[in-house]
Structure 1
Amino acid sequence: MTGRCVIIGGGPAGMVAGLLLARAGVAVTVLEKHADFLRDFRGDTVHPSTLDLLDDLGLGERFARLPQYHITEVAFPAGGRQVVFGDLSRLRVRHPYIAMVPQWDLLTLLADAAREEPGFTLRMRTEVTGLVHEGGRVAGVRYRTEDGQDGELRADLTLACDGRWSLARREAGLRVKERRVPFDVWWFRLPRAKEEDLGALIPRVTADRLFIVLPRETHFQIGYIGPKGFDPAFRARGLEPLRREIAEAVPDLAGKVSELTSMDDVKHLDVRLNRLNRWHTDGLLCIGDAAHAMSPVGGVGINLAIQDAVAAATLLAGPLRRGRPTPAALARVRARRLPATAAVQALQRVMHRALVVRVLRGTWSGPPALLLRLLRRFPALSYVPAYLIGVGPRPERAPAFARRDPGKTPAGRATVAE
């Protein structure tokens, strides 16, 4: 007897959960409303814990062939110097770095691997429009295809991986607790020559603004951090103030600011930090951003979502193979993942107060003097933040049923509905 699982959303959590459950012999259908994975300015950081997972799944060699840039240090500007806050090269892991990889490349890799499993189906251009309720439980989803066809898909488990604005959690009546976040992020890109390297990942600070510069294979992805509610005024003032602020904060990019030609190329991210009180109802489980929206500080959101997916597959594969997971089985996923989620969110809130809020108020004068003295005297202390960022407080390893040798021949081909 094998249960059926429908997954809402083909993001990192949905694709990892789909791949692992399919390898467990569960019949899985992933519904993704878009026609492809090509969307700008999604989380593109792949941390050491996720790189280890890809190795366990037999996908490490495929991933290594993707275009990528490696970050080994996170640093703070301090008195014209940089002080390494997190040195990932000190981590005792197989991949002591953060890999910057376009998320669409990662998702395509995961989708291709899942298609090799006979029980996996990926349906693109298929938007979930509601939940099917039956006998007091969620029994599947209603959906609409791109050409306007409506339908229902019944399932023993519906896994909601549909992000911070999750329709599934709203329809299920699951309540989310919001934490105040005083800032938003505006993403844009500037060209990068192959030989250009701005060094470690360092926040760049002006009088009252903060920039994050992420090196990519062909460009720099830049995050402009400003106060929440600033978007209308930000767009109304036009490009020139933004160009001046970039040149001031990142002098190395001053000669490139003319490449930014339209405010339409600047994408606004409404930053949220929240968490569901309860992640499930009978027949439905929320994971990833649907269960807990993360701040972009540390770039850990994608990796926490993937860890949720691994935990869900590990704990629910057996119940799904036997038929229908009980509410108690679903609750065990939250119990396993909540401590790590809460710890990371607490750390992010500390970073909001210690760095972002002080910069936006114009009171930032550098990291605390005691912290600087400790890091300069004892560089090995940079291992701790590197571990929290790169590995996390509760890393998940691939369950035995999902592990593969890179050279292993897949047992069959999956059904794919494009």
Structure 2
Amino acid sequence: MGSIAKTTVACVVAGGGPAGMVLGLLLARSGVEVAVLEKYPDFLRDFRGDTVHASTLNLLDRLGLGDRFAALPQQREQRVTMRFDDGAITEDFSRLPGRHQHIALVPQWDFLNLLAEAAAESPHFHLARHAEVTGLLRQGGRVCGVRYADKDTGRTCELAAPLVVAADGRHSTVRNLLGLHPRSSATPHDCLYVRIPRLPGDPDGTFLHFSATGGLVMINRGDYWQAALLIGKDTAQAARADDGAWTRRTIARLAPFTGERMAAIGAADIAVLQIRIDRLAHWWAPGALLIGDAAHAMSPIAGVGVNLAVQDAVAAARILVPALRCGRVSDRELARVQRRRQWPTVLTQAAQRMAQKRFVAASITGDVSTAVLRLPQPLRSLRHWPGFPYLLGRAVGLGVRPESLTGPLEPLSHG
């Protein structure tokens, strides 16, 4: 399914990730003809962003998809504890408003398939898989559609639309075609991802350990752990040397319960994720809008990436649906989307940079067994305040300025 029968739609969305699929679903349910182009043939890839926060869970409820999401295989976390050499802090979601007092860790391919199936129930939704955007159509200085390759047949197709939305991730093709370049913030680390067998007796929940001798996050995937080991920027090759001996040794030290099973892990089992934090100065051009990672790449810290992208999609749909129904989107309306979502992004990225500076950078300095990574101030004092875990849980679980289905999207709350 690499092409779409239509040659004209109201909106083309490049990228079938969380932002693209949520936007496609919302537009289709609002009666807007929308086409989502996904360059891969399916969603079965090893995603890193699988954390779904309460803000997104509440949205799924309003869309009538809460029960379908609850049926997906997932790990629910009501509390997440981050351990340091001299103590710990906890994010507690048990007092969040609404139905969901937890976050969910769910394979992203299952989440995307759910969204695709729900969107396909509308006759206004069109999804082309294995369809890669290769060019932009322009008229009078405005983007007016896309050129894309049907990778199943090798044909080149054109699809006209008054709006093209780039939701194609941190390596966005549409962004490159527009000549837009994000401004990057310095990041001190990258991540090594390792799949480790999970055995009876292992901890149940997410395991986070930040130490002077390393930083490790382990997510319970049922029969295995998805482990993310923090390493210095651009040091992946050295960390995987000697068939991954340093990686095995470091994970075993930070998570002693992994024990002898680490011996089976080799360099071929270690994937590298280059961490980026960046943001565009302008999220739009005449006839085009960028959302999610295409507009602002996030660090994995606190698992906010998927949820921030979903909030972008909700805001974009709510602001743009009236114009899309009329067949023309003005620059003013595109700028409104950026104004709405820019400051939540700025604040979230600022918090991520602070976390990197205060404890991530200190955990990647190497094997310094005599050193101690202390809780940063003011966390050292705030952790003694009984309400702090709930405040931290609210900040993470709901995020900054969660979006709702209001205005032209209000009927969706009953769908």
Q: Determine which of 263, 271, 276 is the counterpart of 1:272.
A: 276
The whole-number CA distance in structure 2 between the counterparts of 1:63 and 1:133 is: 39
SS in 2 for 1:43: coil
The whole-number CA distance in structure 2 between the counterparts of 1:255 and 1:379 is: 39
Q: Which residue of the partner structure matches residue 183 of structure 2?
A: 177
Q: How has the CA–CA distance of structure 1 residues 225 and 92 changed in structure 2, closer, same or farther, with 3 Å as cutoff?
A: same
Q: Which residue of the partner structure matches residue 411 of structure 1?
A: none
SS in 1 for 2:272: strand
Q: How has the CA–CA distance of structure 1 residues 177 and 368 changed in structure 2, closer, same or farther, with 3 Å as cutoff?
A: closer
* Structure 2 gaps, min length 5: 1-7
The whole-number CA distance in structure 2 between the counterparts of 1:40 and 1:345 is: 24
Per-residue CA deviation, residues 222-264 of structure 1 (Å, 9 max, x unaligned), is 001101111222222322222111111001111321342x322
The whole-number CA distance in structure 2 between the counterparts of 1:251 and 1:109 is: 37
SS in 2 for 1:22: helix
The count of residues paired between Structure 1 and Structure 2 equals: 401
Q: How has the CA–CA distance of structure 1 residues 274 and 255 changed in structure 2, closer, same or farther, with 3 Å as cutoff?
A: same
Per-residue CA deviation, residues 336-370 of structure 1 (Å, 9 max, x unaligned), is 00010000000000000001111123565220376
Alignment map for 1:13-412 (pairs within 5 Å): 13-78=19-84, 83-146=88-151, 147-193=153-199, 196-199=202-205, 201-260=206-265, 262-361=266-365, 364-368=372-376, 371-376=379-384, 378-399=385-406, 400-401=409-410, 403-405=412-414
The whole-number CA distance in structure 2 between the counterparts of 1:332 and 1:370 is: 36
SS in 1 for 2:99: coil
The whole-number CA distance in structure 2 between the counterparts of 1:235 and 1:375 is: 36
Q: Which runs of 4+ in 1 moved over 6 A?
A: none
Letter in 1 for 2:396: I
* Contact 1:272–1:293 (Cα < 8 Å) also in 2: yes
The whole-number CA distance in structure 2 between the counterparts of 1:230 and 1:132 is: 41
The whole-number CA distance in structure 2 between the counterparts of 1:145 and 1:350 is: 43
Query: Is the deviation greater in 82-91 or in 151-160?
Result: 82-91
Query: Is the deviation greater in 188-197 or in 206-215?
Result: 188-197
The whole-number CA distance in structure 2 between the counterparts of 1:168 and 1:157 is: 12
How far residue 215 of structure 1 moved from its aligned partner, in angstroms, is: 1.1
Per-residue CA deviation, residues 8-44 of structure 1 (Å, 9 max, x unaligned), is 0000000000000001100000000111001113310
The whole-number CA distance in structure 1 between the counterparts of 2:411 and 2:68 is: 16
Letter in 2 for 1:112: E
**TM-score, reference length from structure 2:** 0.92
**TM-score, reference length from structure 1:** 0.91
The whole-number CA distance in structure 2 between the counterparts of 1:210 and 1:394 is: 30
Q: Which residue of the partner structure matches residue 3 of structure 2?
A: none
The whole-number CA distance in structure 2 between the counterparts of 1:370 and 1:233 is: 35
Q: How has the CA–CA distance of structure 1 residues 360 and 196 changed in structure 2, closer, same or farther, with 3 Å as cutoff?
A: closer
Query: Is the deviation greater in 105-114 or in 144-153?
Result: 144-153
The whole-number CA distance in structure 1 between the counterparts of 2:232 and 2:391 is: 29
The whole-number CA distance in structure 1 between the counterparts of 2:219 and 2:210 is: 15
Among all aligned residue pairs of Structure 1 and Structure 2, give the percentage whose two residues are the same amino acid.
44
The whole-number CA distance in structure 2 between the counterparts of 1:79 and 1:132 is: 56
Letter in 2 for 1:395: P
The whole-number CA distance in structure 2 between the counterparts of 1:402 and 1:356 is: 44
Letter in 2 for 1:379: P
* Contact 2:82–2:210 (Cα < 8 Å) also in 1: no
* Contact 2:276–2:297 (Cα < 8 Å) also in 1: yes
The whole-number CA distance in structure 2 between the counterparts of 1:195 and 1:57 is: 38
* Contact 1:194–1:217 (Cα < 8 Å) also in 2: no
Aligned-residue Cα RMSD (Å) equals 1.9
SS in 2 for 1:18: helix
The whole-number CA distance in structure 2 between the counterparts of 1:109 and 1:247 is: 36
The whole-number CA distance in structure 1 between the counterparts of 2:95 and 2:11 is: 40
Higher relative contact order (CA 8 A, sep 6+): 1
* Contact 2:88–2:375 (Cα < 8 Å) also in 1: no
